[in-house]
Amino acid sequence: MGYSGMQTNGDNLLELQDVKTSFFTKQGEVRAVDGVSFAIGKGEVVGLVGESGCGKSITSLSIMRLVPQPAGKIISGRILFKNEDLMQKSEDQMRQLRGDRISMILQDPMVAMNQLLTVGQQLGEPFRFHDKVKGSLRKMCINLLRKVKVPAPERRVDDYPFQFSGGMSQRALIAMGIANNPDLLIADEPTTALDVTIAAQVLKLMKEIQKDTRSSIILITHDLATVAQICTRVLVMYAGRIVEQASIKTFYKNPAHPYSKGLIHSVPVLGRPVDRLFSIDGQPPSLFDMPEGCRFSPRCTRAEKRCFKHYPPETMLEDNHSVACWLYAGD
Amino acid sequence: MQGYILKRILFAAFTIFVVLTVVFFVFRLGPADPVSVMLPPDATPKDAENLTKKFGLDQPLMTQYVNYIKNAVQGDFGASFRFNEPALKVLFERFPATLQLGLVAFVFSVLIGLSVGIYSAVKPNSIVDRIGRVFALAGMSLPSFWVGVMLILFFGVGLRWLPIAGRGTFLHYIMPAFCMSLYPIALITRLSRSSMLDALKSDYVVMARIKGVPEFYVIITHAFKNASIPVLTVIFGIFGALLVGSAVVVEYIFSWPGIGRLVMESYFARDYPVVQVFVIFVTFVVVTLNLIVDIVYAYIDPRIRYQ
Amino acid sequence: MALLNIFSKKKRTGTKPRGRIRPPYLGFFCLGLFFLSVIFADVIAPYDPQEGDLFNTTIPPVWQEEGSLAHILGTDMLGRDVLSRIIHGSRMSLLISVGCILFYGSIGVTLGLVSGFRGGRTDMVIMRLADLWLSLPAIIVLFMLASVHGPSGKTIILTFGIMGWPNYARIVRGECLGLKQRDFVRLARVAGCSKLRIMFSHILPNIVNTIIIMATIEIGFIIVMTATMSFLGLGTQPPSCDWGLMLAEGRQYITYASWLVTFPGIAIVITVLGFNLTGDWLREVLDPKQKLR
């Protein structure tokens, strides 16, 4: 199974090669991530888009090798980070990378923070456990809060998470993520739990920070609007696989995969009234019961016979635009 | 925070007062005539009359009640018939024995229960986990009095390794403390295990791992700290009840000279002042324990402090 | 209701089906033995449990010397057949336990409904009361009642009836709080149903599952407690064949007639194990969200 998008070269920060992660349950194997390949360059902001349950979160957990055990396991594939295969690293080596070179921001800040420790204590952990403490740990935490624009950081650093508002807690999470200026930051639905105005502020903050630190960001979301705001490239995921990769402009101008088209079409446009809001018919396939061919075929309006039987190969359309669909595969 | 503690103290005091009242009325207004209930079996009518006067039972009920409360506050709960000494004094003389046994059982239960429970949660389906679950089930299904009798049969009568009654050496503690610990260990193991499992699945644990926190800290500082709260409440809250209940049974079976055996003897000897003071004392201890738990809680969980 | 579904082999649909939870065969077996004894005691017990044969006292069980097939588990100090007494003892256990649960169950459920439904100060008061009640040992109430009323099975039922309601109240209240927000309850209020009617006709049917699960889990505990209290002499009195009582009577003969204490205990263990295993399984099957833990 080949992969395209950015070609393999030593310059990529992160490269996934045919990664497969499954969960082994009493009813059988759940193939949450079923052969995912893509590459992220230095300083790139890439959006990973897909609906709930398509495997995007598990992909990010796989990169960090934090797939929930004992049921979950990365069964094959390589994960190259700065040209080193993370799959070959020991748990201790991974632990050193986490929070330092690779970091992640979780979705719901209320649940992602320990309510029994102060925000300051939790902010300090990335510094403490990677030997990055220079001078006063407390001052470092205060500065960190300042970086994410939390007002009155000297007071806030001693507060508990439940004393923070939604937007502020998300900033605190971002702070924890960027503490050691990681090369790669994975943001898993960072704005989903926030209301629209706060979400906009947080996104703006992320954009600024990214300009500053030049980290690469993988932004996981189901919301196309978020992607449009800060990403330069889009990866579309469906039922455990990547079905399309494109730059932002190309994606919005010329979405190739029927699923991508459906997604874009579903977003209502202000000023353009419709009788009925569009939604893609049907449901994603059960993870226990994957169809043999293209996974989207049951819902696809343009499905042909071969779509149901064989999984389509990945086809390069133009530069950096690839799609896995029989419509483009030629013969 | 001060307000919180004050409220709890007031509530505790109120509870004790209510219990005192209930005990008074149950004993006075029960179907049995209070005097005949208190008389030794070989009493004469003259004895009855003397007793009535002595305990002020010929006075109106409310006066009796007021006197009763006045006396209770000073620690006077009447005199034991058997020993002709103040009931409270009789109780206090035997309390240390129960306390020692109880403490041994308590420490043993908490140590084993917590370690097995936490280990089971951190390493599910390990040998420790499987055996732990079986033992927990056993602890909840085996009646402690039967286990006690069986232990006596086996180790005392059969093998003659351990003494079967009384108190004296360290060996005397083994069987009674073990019996008392059965149910608590089962409870604590189950509870801490499920509590830890929940905590380990939570987002803040994932978050800690994401930050590169070493696993040891994740388990203790993040998971255990959160998991311990519901476990603590149960341990102390229900513990008083468990230990007292078991104490009565265990002391009875092993002839341990504590307040459990005292109350059994007193009950059968119809020495009701002692039974009465036992009830009140136990309530007092339990209420105080709960109060301490509430206060400790406020220190551990910042969410309570900031309300 | 969900109770019916556990026996249907309907294939579960959806993206997250649960694993099939193995039924507790051991638990069912134990319960089977227990209920068989309860229902068919008169038929399967070889002797009358109260009839003592003074020529045949303290005969050991059949596998020991001097044992005989006539009395498989031996006889006690009054010549009564141990096996028959154990079989009949199951009735005592069930009777008293069910009595207790019915008593405190109704109090608990009612208080829980009121507390959950009305909320506010009523709720707070009842819950504080429950907290307190839970920490008091039942045995002190038993002592008081036994002193005043005399010891008996009824005294046990009274004791637990008074002491046992907090658990039920708490859980029912929790469920109530959740259900209160649901649409069908809101609609009932809008339609003008009286609070009482809502509590009993709308909310109650939805918590029946929970109530049943709780009962199964608690009954094991109650049986042990009942036996303990009878053992101490504060519960059922001779010549009743309650298991705890049998153990108490047999204790004096422990050095040479140990079967008198072993078998009643085993009976208790089997019964309680049956209820506990079944209760755990019921909880996993009917309450996947583990609200009851």
| CATH, residue C84 | 1.10.3720.10
pLDDT for res B214? 92
Contact B283 C138 (CB under 8 A): no
A272 and A192 within one domain: yes
A204 and A91 within one domain:
yes
Q: How far, in Å, CA of B135 to CA of C200, rounded?
A: 40
A153 in a structural domain: yes
The answer on A125 and A253 residing in a single domain is no
- Closest listed residue to residue A207, CA positions, set A226, A193, A189, A220: A226
- B207: confidence class by pLDDT, cuts 50, 70, 90: very high
Co-location of A139 and A92 in the same domain: no
Which CATH number covers residue A37?
3.40.50.300
Report yes or no on C182 lying in a domain.
Answer: yes
Say if A297 falls within a structural domain: no
A161 contacts A114 by C-beta, under 8 angstroms: yes
Residue at C138 is within a domain: yes
The pLDDT assigned to A105 comes to: 92
Q: Which residues pair with A183 in a beta bridge?
A: none
Q: How many domains does chain A have?
A: 2
With beta carbons under 8 A apart, name residues in chain A contacting C17: 27, 288
User: C19 vs A284: CB contact, 8 Å cut-off?
Assistant: no
Q: Evaluate whether residue A321 is within a structural domain.
A: no
Does residue A228 share a domain with residue A141? no
| Contacting subunits of A (3+ beta carbon pairs below 8 A) | B, C
Say which amino acid occupies B198. Answer: D
Q: Do B137 and C221 touch (CB under 8 A)?
A: no
**Does position B263 have pLDDT exceeding 80, yes or no?**
yes
ipTM for the predicted complex comes to 0.85
Cross-chain Cβ contact C20/A26 below 8 Å: yes
Residue C289 pLDDT: 57
Q: Name chain C's partners: 3 or more CB pairs within 8 A.
A: A, B
The mean per-residue pLDDT over the stretch B217-234 comes to 86
Write out pLDDT tens, residues A252-267.
888 888 888 888 887 7
Element (H, E) at B290: helix B272-300
In angstroms, the CA C41 to CA C51 distance is 15
- Do A42 and A139 belong to one domain? no
**Which tens digits make up the pLDDT trace of A74-84?**
888 999 998 88
Please give the mean pLDDT across all residues of chain B: 83
Of A266, A285, A304, the position where a domain reaches its end is A285
Assess C192–A contact: CB distance below 8 Å, yes or no.
no
> In this structure, what token pair is assigned to residue A269?
């446009």
Which of B73-82, B260-269, C121-130, C155-164 is least confident?
Answer: B73-82
A45 domain residue, yes or no: yes
Are residues A25 and A158 located together in one domain of the fold? no
pLDDT (tens digit per residue) in C175-234: 888 777 777 777 777 787 777 777 777 777 778 878 888 888 888 889 998 899 999 988
- What is the pLDDT, as a whole number, of residue B32? 56
From chain B, pick out residues whose CB is under 8 angstroms from the CB of C134: 237-238, 241
**How far C22 CA lies from chain A's nearest CA (Å)?**
11
Main-chain phi, psi angles of C104, to 5 degrees: -75, -25
Mean pLDDT over residues B58-80, rounded?
77
The string of pLDDT tens digits covering residues A31-69 is 888 889 999 988 889 999 988 878 888 999 999 999 888
The domain of C284 spans 24-39+66-292
Q: What is the pLDDT of residues A242-254, one digit of tens each?
A: 989 999 888 888 8
Contact list, B222 vs chain A (CB under 8 Å)? 114, 117
A99 CA: distance to closest CA in chain B (Å): 4
For chain A positions 167-186, those within 8 Å of chain B (CB to CB) are 173, 176, 179
Q: Which of A54, A288, A290 is the best residue to mutate to test the C interface, defined by the most C CB atoms within 10 Å of its own CB?
A: A288
> Is the CB of residue C22 less than 8 Å away from at least one CB of chain A?
no
Mean pLDDT of all residues belonging to chain C: 80
On whether both A157 and A200 belong to a single domain, the answer is no
Residues of chain A with Cβ-Cβ distance to B298 below 8 Å are none
CB contact under 8 A, A160 and B221: no
Of C57, C39, C61, C41, nearest to C49 by C-alpha is C41
CB C246 within 8 A of CB B266: no
A170 domain-assigned: yes
- Of all residues in chain B, what percent carry a pLDDT higher than 70? 90
Considering the domain architecture, whether residues A129 and A264 belong to the same structural domain is answered as: no
Residues in chain B within 8 Å Cβ distance of A103: 210-211
Lowest mean pLDDT among B39-43, B238-242, B299-303: B39-43
pLDDT of residue B209: 93
Let me know whether A172 and A146 are in one domain: yes
Chain A residues with CB-CB distance to B225 below 8 A: 114, 116-117
Whether the pLDDT of residue A117 is over 60: the answer is yes
**C-beta atoms of C15 and A287 within 8 A:** yes
HEC sequence for C22-80 = CCCHHHHHHHHHHHHHHHHHHHHCCCCCCCCCCCCCCCCCCCCCCCECCECCCECCCCC
pLDDT in tens, A275-289: 777 777 777 777 777
Question: What pLDDT does B2 receive?
Answer: 74
Same domain, yes or no: A97 and A191: yes
pLDDT means over runs of 10, chain C (293 residues) = 39 40 84 87 80 77 77 81 87 89 89 82 84 80 83 87 86 80 77 74 77 84 90 86 88 84 90 89 71 46
CA distances (Å), B37 to each of A141, B61, C22, C121, in order?
72, 17, 55, 41
Q: Using the structure block, give the residue that is written with the tokens 């990403």.
A: A231
Is residue A317 assigned to a domain?
no
Q: Which of A128, A155, A179 is the last residue of a domain?
A: A179
CB contact under 8 A, B153 and C224: no
Q: Does A120 touch chain B (CB under 8 A)?
A: no
Domain assignment present for C215: yes
Residue A266, both tokens: 């579903």
Residues A139 and A90 placed together within one structural domain of the fold: no
Tell me the residue range of the domain where A31 lies. Answer: 12-101+184-285
Local confidence band at A4 (pLDDT 50, 70, 90 cut-offs): very low
> Is the pLDDT reported for residue A1 higher than 50?
no
Count of domains observed in chain C: 1
> For residue C184, is it within any domain?
yes
Q: B206 contacts in A (CB within 8 Å)?
A: 66, 106, 112
Q: Would you place residue B31 in the very low, low, confident or very high pLDDT band (cuts 50, 70, 90)?
A: low
**Is the pLDDT reported for residue A5 higher than 60?**
no
**Which residues of chain C lie closer than 8 angstroms to A53, CB-CB?**
15
**pLDDT at residue number A186:** 93
Asked if residue A279 is part of any domain, the answer here is yes
